[in-house]
Amino acid sequence: MNAHPVEQPRPALPRPPAKLWQLRLYVAGQTPKSLTAFANLTRICENHLSGRYDIEVVDLLEQPQLSHGDQILAIPTLVRKLPQPVLRVIGDLSNVERVLSGLDLRSAD
């Protein structure tokens, strides 16, 4: 009598980690427009990237040299560092549809 080995169930493959979105918001001081941009960005991230984002705020009044690396011409400006490619959205981020489109966030949902 030939015994056939019983096939053991394979463990489920681990799900790849969700992409971490690295966002950098350039502002100039604690102006109403800068504060609004940060609040809008936080709300958008919580609604569309909960747990998958990191926001770095760069105040160009304190670190003006940092504007050159990301070619900042206006403030506030949001820069998506990761995932590639680098994308930018200028303004207070109050137009949610424009921000989602500008950051290509639609594909992240």
Domain ranges of the chain: 21-108
- pLDDT class for 109, splitting at 50, 70, 90? very low
pLDDT at site 67: 87
The position carrying tokens 């900042």 is 72
> Pairing mode, if any, of strands 87-90 and 21-27?
unpaired
**CB atoms near residue 48 (< 10 Å):** 18
Cβ–Cβ < 8 Å for 72, 60? yes
Tell me which of 35 and 14 has the higher pLDDT: 35
Mean of pLDDT values over 9-26: 73
Mean of pLDDT values over 63-68: 89
CATH, domain 21-108, list 3.40.30.10, 3.40.50.620, 3.40.140.10, 2.160.20.10: 3.40.30.10
Of the candidate ranges 43-47, 68-72, 73-77, the one whose mean pLDDT is the lowest: 68-72
